Structure 1
Amino acid sequence: MLAEDDGEAWSIGMKCPCGCGDTVELMLLAEATPRWTLTLDAKGRPSLSPSVWRKSGCRAHYWVINGRVRWCR
């Protein structure tokens, strides 16, 4: 789910892809730390940069590239 204010995206939320059931919220605002960059390809599939690395809970580490989860080893 993408949160926007006056057309500016500021946060993206998703269920953790590991299946733990937690909601992951990532900040997109330039002044936020840490922050992620969201891009959409020509088909509207999202990519996030940098990777998502949960430091607590399930500790999942993954990339979202063209709408797909790519797990880090």
Structure 2
Amino acid sequence: MPKQKTHKGMKRRFKITASGKAKHRSAFRGHLLSGKSAKQKRRLRNSGIVDGKDAKNIIEALRPSL
């Protein structure tokens, strides 16, 4: 049986917290920030927590590297 490999794209985009939740960076933060209000940019600074079925899939794809 072959080993399960870590999904490298997910490894770059998600982190697993100490309690086992999947954390992600907010979207719309890469470029074109001059057109966004300070309020919007301030709220986008915070990272989000993935929940539901998506979180389960992310954690499963990152399992070998944990």
Q: Greater share of helix residues, 1 or 2?
A: 2
TM-score range for the pair, normalised by the shorter chain length: under 0.3
Instruction: Report the TM-score when normalising by structure 1.
Output: 0.23
Instruction: Give 1 or 2: higher strand fraction.
Output: 1
Higher relative contact order, chain-length normalized (CA < 8 Å, sep 6+) = 2
Rg larger in structure = 2
